[in-house]
Amino acid sequence: MSYQVSKMRLTLRRILQALFLALLFSFSTLAMLRTFAATSSRSATMMEHASAIKEEPPWIKTFVGFWPDRSLRSVFDEEGKEFTAPVVDDNAIEFERAISTTTSTTTTATSKPQTSLDDIFISVKTTKNFHATRLDVIIKTWFTLAREQTWFFTDSDDEEYSEKTHNHLINTGCSASHNRMALCCKMAVEFDTFLESDKRWFCHFDDDNYVNVPQLVRMLQKHDWTDDWYLGKPSIKAPLEILDREHMPQKISFWFATGGAGFCLSRSLGLKMKPLASGGKFISIGDKIRLPDDVTMGYIVEHLLSKQLTVVEEFHSHLEPMKFLKQSHLAEQITFSYSHYGPEMNVLSLNGFNNQIDPYRFLSLHCNLYPNFSFCPR
């Protein structure tokens, strides 16, 4: 009798062990299937957006770091070839501090994290016709200070400049013309690409801008990205007044930051704009008011969302006389530009390279700010 009881217990134990193993296998299989489904869904979403803009978006790119070693800096020689030069002067140390530190105040559990360079999505609008004449000086100067964060939005594939920018050249598929539809098309792709990233700030610039990257970071550190910020500088002395096409003959007025000087939007504001301007809606609004991209941006922010432009005087466009910017104050400014007025060039007035080598004065400006770069005069 005792033998039969022991045998029954042994059989029952084996049955329970088998049931336990079966349940364990079932739960493991279910977990693997859920993980695979989630990964497939995310991958499909990213590839769909990449196909729409004919370029891999920033969050699935392989970035090339600016400082692979803290004692080395990547720069370009006169032929555009990349090499490294030792960081030995105070300007390089100052720049690193500017983009990696916040303030002297210790961050507490209740305070919001300070902005760093990695929090900024920097877009540069360009066109294939200007790649050779405008991008080289940017790539050689300020792009080296924000290589991972800066993207060039153009209208054609270009293997040479895709390589020079470390695959940060995005073909928007927009027209190469300079009409309002083409400009709004590129801005729409810039804005959508920012929204798909995890960046806290969207800063747009043109291909005739020099961006003082450390000063850009310092300026953004003064503003909370969780609030609604539209930062830039108007090129007109009064709000723009246009006809309200839905309520003719009434008029509406609003400020806008000129794209020629650059402007920045906080992520909080960008998310509020998303229902109105994402997915190509930005182009539709621009077509409705029949105005270019920077004006359309101001219309959306100031008129449709009732958010005000905050003027940043340190932004400068080609519409301003560059020669009046004092050399002693250049390090405090954020953006610079240039333009032609007949035979006269509207450029910064500062010492440096001769005009044949540096007609736009960006090389001289960069060496004024960062004299340690290898191409700068000793």
Distance, in Å, from the CA atom of 262 to the CA atom of 259, rounded to the nearest integer, reads 5
In angstroms, the CA 372 to CA 378 distance is 9
Span 153-181, pLDDT tens digits: 999 999 999 999 999 999 999 999 989 99
Domain count, the chain: 1
Name the residue type at position 263: F
Distance of alpha carbon 333 from alpha carbon 324, whole angstroms: 13
pLDDT number for residue 39: 41
Of 302, 328, 332, residue with least CA distance to 315: 332
> Tokens at residue 245, please?
């096409």
231 Cα distance to chain centroid = 14
Catalytic one of 119, 158, 208, 294? 294
pLDDT for position 28? 61
pLDDT of residue 343: 83
pLDDT value at position 247?
A: 81
The CATH code of the domain that includes 336 is 3.90.550.50
Residue 132 half-sphere exposure, CB side, CA atoms within 13 Å? 2
What pTM was computed for the model? Answer: 0.73
Is the residue at 60 inside a domain?
Answer: no
Give residue-wise pLDDT tens across range 96-148.
544 544 333 333 334 556 899 999 999 999 999 999 999 999 999 999 999 99
The strand pairing partners of 121, in sequence order, are 202
Residue 19 φ/ψ, nearest 5 degrees: -65, -40
Q: What is the pLDDT of residue 111?
A: 52
Please give the pLDDT value at position 57: 33
* Residue numbers in the chain where pLDDT is lower than 50: 1, 3, 5, 35-94, 97-98, 100-110
The answer as to whether 100 is a domain residue is no
| Domain of residue 304, residue span | 115-369
The pLDDT value recorded for residue 16 is: 67
In a domain, 186, yes or no: yes
Q: Is residue 35 part of a domain?
A: no
User: Is 356 inside a domain boundary?
Assistant: yes
| 3-state secondary structure string across the chain | CHHHHHHHHHHHHHHHHHHHHHHHHHHHHHHHHHHHHHHHHHHHHHHHHHHHCCCCCHHHCCCCCCCCCCCEEEEECCCCCEEEEECCCHHHHHHHHHHHCCCCCCCCCCCCCCCCHHHEEEEEECCHHHHHHHHHHHHHCHHHHCCCCEEEEECCCCHHHHHHCCCCEEECCCCCCCCHHHHHHHHHHHHHHHHHCCCCEEEEEECCCEECHHHHHHHHHCCCCCCCCEEECCCCCCCEEEECCCCCCCEEEECCCCCCCCEEEEHHHHHHHHHHHCCCHHHHHHHHHCCCHHHHHHHHHHHHCCCCEEECCCCCCCCCCHHHCCHHHHHHCCEECCEEECCEEECCCCCCCCCCCCCCCHHHHHHHHCCCCCCCCC
Q: Does residue 75 fall inside a structural domain?
A: no
pLDDT score, position 179: 93
- Kindly state whether residue 141 falls inside one of the protein's structural domains: yes
**89 included as an active-site residue:** no
Residue 12 lies in a domain: no
Sign of the alpha-carbon torsion through 113, 39, 149, 208: negative
